[in-house]
Structure 1
C-alpha cells in the first residue's frame, strides 16, 4: 500500500472542486510509478519523497494545478512548460491536461534514477538568467506614498518583486490594473508576498 498522509488528504479536501480530481490523479500516478514514495508537506504543498529526497511537489491554485518534478528540468527537458505555470507541465485545469500515464510514469522513474545516482537537487540544462525586475512607474509612485509597502517591496528577493510586477503589468484593462495596484500596496503594507495565501496554506 502507498504511504499516504492525512495532511495531504486535508489539503485535497479543502481544494477547489476542479482541483480535487487532478490532485488525486497526480497522487495516484506518483504512487503507481514509485511505490516507495512517501507523502509530506513542504512549502505548504503536497510533496512526495523517495529515499528521503524530494521527488515531486503539487499545488492547487485558484484556476489551475501545478505539478513539479524536483529534477524535472533534467527529466522533461524541452517538453517543459514551466513558463506557462509552476512546474514542468503548465497549468493543469483538468485531468486530461496531465500527460499520458505511460509518459508520466517514465518521467517519474527517470527522476527516481537521478536520485539513485546521487543527484541532490533539481536544475536546468542551461539555466538562463532572468532579466532584472523593473517596476512600472505607477507602482513606484504608489510605493513612495506608502513607506510600509515600499519597505516590504525593497526587502523582497527578485522573485517576489517579480510576482507583483508581473501581476500588475499583465492586467489587460486599466481598471483591473488599478485594482491590482491598490491590492498590491495593501498587501505589501502588511508585509505580505503576492502569493501569501498559498504560503500559509
Structure 2
C-alpha cells in the first residue's frame, strides 16, 4: 500500500468500503500502487494496468487495455462509443465485489499478461470519425479554417470532431464551432490554453 494515496481510501463516500476492498484485491496481485489522474492506479514495471475510480452511481475498476481481455460473461463495460481501449468493471454492491473476487483477479492477471506481451488496441483513425455537416459547410466557406484544422495533430482533430458532433441541436454545434475558431486557427486543441 502506498501511504501517499491513503487519503483516497479514507475519504467519506458511499463507495468507501467498496474501493477499499477493490484495493485489497488488486494489491494481492502484486501490482504497484500509485496515484494518476487523482485516482489509485496500479502498474507493472511502470505500465498502467488498472485504475480504481468512483462515480455518483457506482465505483469501478478501469482496465486500460480492457478491449483485449477475454470477457465471456460480459462483465466489462465500454464507457462510451468514443472509448477505444479501456473497459470498466462496475460495482454498486459490496457483495458483488466479494462474490466476484476470482473474476476480478483473473482480469487483472490477464491484463498484466496483455501488457507484458506488448499487445495494443488498434486505434480508430481520425478519418474514420464523422465530420458534422455544419462543420463541412463552415470549412467550405472558410478554407483557411479547414487548412488550420487539417494542420492540427490527429488527437486535436479527434477532440474537436467529438466535441462538435455531440450536441443534437444544430445551433449548439454552430456556437461551439464559432467559439473554437480562434483556437483552431492558432493551432490549439480543445483544451489548450
Q: TM-score, normalised by structure 2?
A: 0.60
- Asked whether 1:34 is paired with 2:26, we answer yes
Aligned residues between the structures: 181
1:40–1:48 contact (8 Å) kept in structure 2: yes
Alignment-derived partner of residue 68 in structure 2? 74
Q: CA RMSD in A?
A: 4.7
- Asked whether 1:88 is paired with 2:87, we answer yes
Within 2, Cα distance between the matches of 1:75 and 1:189? Answer: 41
1:49–1:55 contact (8 Å) kept in structure 2: yes
Q: CA deviation at 1:184?
A: 3.6
Q: CA deviation at 1:191?
A: 4.1
Q: CA deviation at 1:123?
A: 4.0
Within 2, Cα distance between the matches of 1:163 and 1:169? Answer: 10
Within 1, Cα distance between the matches of 2:21 and 2:147? Answer: 44
Alignment-derived partner of residue 171 in structure 2? 175
Match for 1:161 among 145, 154, 157?
157
SS of match in other structure, 2:181 = helix
Q: CA deviation at 1:27?
A: 4.7
Q: Which has the larger radius of gyration?
A: 2
Within 1, Cα distance between the matches of 2:92 and 2:19? Answer: 15
Structure scoring higher RCO (CA < 8 A, sep ≥ 6) equals: 1
SS of match in other structure, 2:34 = strand
Q: TM-score, normalised by structure 1?
A: 0.58
1:3–1:37 contact (8 Å) kept in structure 2: no
1:68–1:88 contact (8 Å) kept in structure 2: yes
